[in-house]
Structure 1
Amino acid sequence: MRAHSLIKRRNNAHPCLYQSMPDWYAKQWQLRQSADVRRSEACQLRNSGKTVRAEANVRTKWDTYVNNTRIADRVTELSRWKDTIEDLLQKLLTEMCLLSDEKANTEKDIESVNRLLQIVSECISTRDCRRVTELTYDEADTELKKELRTIASIQEALTKRVQAAWEKLNHLERIKFELNLDIEDKNDTIRIDKGNLKLDHMCANISYKPKTSICAEKTNLITYEMWLDRCHRSKMLAESESNDCYTFREATRVMRECAWNDIKAQQDVTDYTLRKRIYQTQKARNELEWQKLKVQQEMEMLAKEITQLEATLMSKIGVVKCVETRLENRVYRPGSELCKDEVELGLQSENLQLKQTEEDLAKVIAHTKASYNSLESLLMCIQSSLEDKQHSLNTDVMCLDTRAILKKGDRSRLPNETDRNIMLTSMEKEIPLAS
């Protein structure tokens, strides 16, 4: 009863639908076809996956190799440019060091020129202390003032050159800073690219960088051509500045050498005119010495002559007294004896002759004394002129002694004073010995 009731209840709840055998076979065929299609699609997907996977692996490996090669080539290119710029920078630093040394040498030359300027000014001031009779516009004065102008112009030119060298060094410092910055940038880039070259998919310090494309877009990237042009411009700038610095330094050196050549040439001319003036002054002094000697001799002879004339005049006094006494005594002759006889005429003639002789002797003595006084005045003038010329001579010799420190090397002064005096003048032998 229970089983019958269960079957009846199932039949009443779900009525069963039966299908025919063809439907059953059709359903089996449909399942088989679906399975075949799905297996075929799965096989195709599996084969295409293998192909994609192989292609992806090959492409990834090839891209990695190509990019590694590119990074290595880029590192090599950056290293070459860095080495080139470093060589140019080293050359520029060498030129800067040489230019700095040249600037220091020029500054030393300016100090030496200042010393020369002081010496020449001192020589001019010394020669201006000559006495009025010797204060002339001679060649030595002209050449000294010309030397002063030459040294002053050279000092001004060297000062301007030092200023230009200082500005040039400042400009080269800026170029050096730019080249150092470029080298540092290249070193950082080489370090980054070498670090990238060492990276692979097995490294531990790799991760996803989701902002890579955004950072690349925001960064002001330049093209390779622009970068290469910038490298060429840096190279050309370093080369041009090095060459310009070399040209400037050589021009400064040539300027210094020409300046010293001009100074030495002018010094030689000035020294020659000073020696020539010393020779002229000493010749004039020796001439005056000779004149002084002759005047003194003439004065001595005139003094002796005056003494003899005065003695002669004094000796005539007794004779005149005697003649006049005789004439006076004959006045007292008696009577007819008072006549003009030959004795009277002779005594009167002798008296007149003695008076004339006294007058002549007095005139000669007066003229001789006047001549002696004029010779004495002339001797004083000669003595004064000699003192002036000796003072002028000492002044010019002092100028030469002052300028002796300017002579160096083969231009140094003679080893002893004898040679120096022979070189200056040796005019003492022109004074003749007293006869």
Structure 2
Amino acid sequence: MSFHLAVSLEKPVQHLALSDWQARVDRLRNVANARRADAFTMRNTSRMLRNESQIEGDWANYLSNESLSNRIAELDKWRDLIAKAFGRLELEIEALREEKKAAESELDSQIRPLSVISKVMSIRDGRVIPEITHDSPETETKNELFILENNQRLLVDLCQKAWEKLVRLEEVRFKINRELKDKQDTEDTESALLAMNRNSTNISYKPDPLRNPRECCSYEHWLEHAKNIKQLAENELAETSAIRNAMIVCRQKSRDLLEAQRARTEYTFRKRIFLTQQAKNELEWQQLKLREEIKNLTCEIQSLEDALQSKTGLLKLAETRLETRAMRCVTELCLDEPHHLLCNEVEKLREIQRCLMNKIDDAKANLNLLSDHAKKVDDDLENKKQSLQTDSEALQLHETLNEEEFAVLKDHNPCEQTDRNVELTRVVLDPRK
């Protein structure tokens, strides 16, 4: 049995103690545990950060999408409100144009009454001097002329206001139309942005996305601007409606006033014609009676002259008898009863002649007065006839205005829709109502 010896060689390095080795192992273990704990913490915090960042990112995206949706809804609401106001504004502009056209037509239609009234006044000025009076037809005709001129001034002022309002409405319509286009473009932009997502192809980093764009305003200022635009449209609609209603009322009132004045004027014309006809009839009756009286008075004067002529013979006879009896002889010349009776006869005949001559002079003077008055009655009767013809012609000319008005009313039937509804519904109207 052999004996072997094992020879071991040690490295020429410093050998550690077992406690140091154990301490080193413990230190490595502790460091590994710490590193693993740190890694675990890092993994947990990373996972939490990933989850929270995803949640916050998704939630921020959701909030942004929700805000964009709300913004689109708000834009759509304001666009609808402004669009409705814009539509009403369009209708009001068209209605104001139609009313302005109707007022201008009404203004043009009053040219004919003005010329007719001027011609009526010229015709009545053709009367002779005794018949030119400040009567009711003249007053009512001047009132009608005044009403026409006043209506023309009112219609011209309203047409001017309507034109100015139409110009203003065109400006407002341009502003509102531009506002609608801007809101529609903004809504399209917001809708396109809302449709984008993280996988869209047209997204990229931007140089300075957080900057405030130039000429931007706050939301309150934008909201105030939208409210102002809507309120502007509402105010213009109210003013336009007021002007249009004023034009309608003015046109209707002018027609009513003119129609009432026409009726009063024609009534005064007819009354004046009646009074003139009555005066003419009275003058004709007076003319007839005057002629009869002149004829009777002429006959009476002739009778008085015949009576005077017959008394001349008797006076000559009485005077001749007195003169002849005065030639008697002296012894027979006495103032006897025949002498006194003859003297009385001569005095009576002379008194009768004087009375007859005075009566003839008075009758002739009365005849002259009757003749002069008959001449005046004849002249006044001719004036009355001429005045009656003039007023009748003026009335006939004035009545043509009513015929034209009736033709206009016949062409424009305000109850056309009512008549159509009655026809469609086949409603039978009770004639007793």
- TM class, shorter-chain normalised? 0.7 to 0.9
Q: In the alignment, which residue of structure 2 is the partner of 1:295?
A: 290
1:195 aligns with 2:179: no
Letter in 1 for 2:224: D
Alignment of 1:14-413 (within 5 A): 48-213=45-210, 216-306=211-301, 367-407=362-402
Distance, in Å, in 2 between the alignment partners of 1:356 and 1:25 is 201
1:290 deviation in Å? 0.7
Distance, in Å, in 2 between the alignment partners of 1:247 and 1:232 is 22
Identify unmatched segments of 5+ residues in structure 2. 1-11, 408-433
RMSD between aligned residues: 4.4
1:195 deviation in Å? 0.9
**More displaced stretch, 341-350 vs 240-249:** 341-350
**More displaced stretch, 65-74 vs 189-198:** 65-74
1:210 deviation in Å? 2.0
Q: In the alignment, which residue of structure 2 is the partner of 1:431?
A: none
1:264 and 1:222, CA in 2 relative to 1: closer, same or farther beyond 3 A? Answer: same
Q: 1:307-365 CA distances to partner (integer Å, 9 max, x unpaired)?
A: 556667778899999999999999999xx999999999999999998888777766665
Provide the TM-score with structure 2 as the length reference. Answer: 0.73
Q: What secondary structure does 2:212 align onto?
A: helix
1:106 deviation in Å? 2.2
Distance, in Å, in 1 between the alignment partners of 2:27 and 2:335 is 218
Distance, in Å, in 2 between the alignment partners of 1:220 and 1:34 is 61
Letter in 1 for 2:226: C
**More displaced stretch, 197-206 vs 176-185:** 197-206
Letter in 1 for 2:170: E
Letter in 2 for 1:243: A
Provide the TM-score with structure 1 as the length reference. Answer: 0.72
Q: What secondary structure does 1:217 align onto?
A: coil
Distance, in Å, in 2 between the alignment partners of 1:407 and 1:128 is 23
1:79 deviation in Å? 0.6
1:182 deviation in Å? 1.5
1:218 deviation in Å? 3.9
Letter in 1 for 2:72: V
Distance, in Å, in 2 between the alignment partners of 1:128 and 1:407 is 23
Q: 1:218-240 CA distances to partner (integer Å, 9 max, x unpaired)?
A: 42222222222222222233223
Letter in 2 for 1:87: K
1:75 deviation in Å? 0.9
Letter in 2 for 1:62: W
Letter in 2 for 1:123: V
Letter in 2 for 1:88: A
Equivalent residue pairs, number? 394
Distance, in Å, in 1 between the alignment partners of 2:268 and 2:183 is 67
Distance, in Å, in 2 between the alignment partners of 1:363 and 1:248 is 85
1:31 and 1:373, CA in 2 relative to 1: closer, same or farther beyond 3 A? Answer: same
